[in-house]
A and B are shown apart, each in its own frame.
Chain A
Amino acid sequence: DAGVTQSPTHLIKTRGQHVTLRCSPISGHKSVSWYQQVLGQGPQFIFQYYEKEERGRGNFPDRFSARQFPNYSSELNVNALLLGDSALYLCASALPPVANEQFFGPGTRLTVL
């Protein structure tokens, strides 16, 4: 079975632009979480979606938004990009009720110039 997939692998944007990152969970998984990993730090929780509803949000500005589709895939959107948004964005899927056992994708490396 395929693992969690993310696209694109790498992305370069300039300040002020908008970006959309995509994630496909493992087949059968209904929970998707997004994390931001800045170089030299651990992943930081951004959002969690379960059954297409937001179930948790980390300490991120409103420029960050996400949604989950009927097939449980998910998009993370970031508006008005800042240099500090440069990071590896990780998606994780889980099969509730043991939703804390997450499976991570390879991530999308976003560089903001």
Chain B
Amino acid sequence: GDQVEQSPSALSLHEGTGSALRCNFTTTMRAVQWFQQNSRGSLINLFYLASGTKENGRLKSTFNSKESYSTLHIRDAQLEDSGTYFCAAEAGTQVVGQLTFGRGTRLQVYA
């Protein structure tokens, strides 16, 4: 099975609303990163977390290594937030930067 289980696989949000994406890990991870892949295919790094919570504008992410999960909260969604969101984690045994990716959440924000 997948080491990084991401949910939901797809999500539709009305502009101005919010939701949470989640990744569960089946093995101990030392850090997690969240990315947005836009319509051009570019992967934009949103967060890097080794623990705790970080916030950036309308986005907030949490990583709980003991309970093996990470979340990404989006509030006040805008049309430009549409895209595919990936979480990616480093296992304790892996070389830095060798990430295991989740399968992504396709987010569609509509007016």
A and B interact physically? no
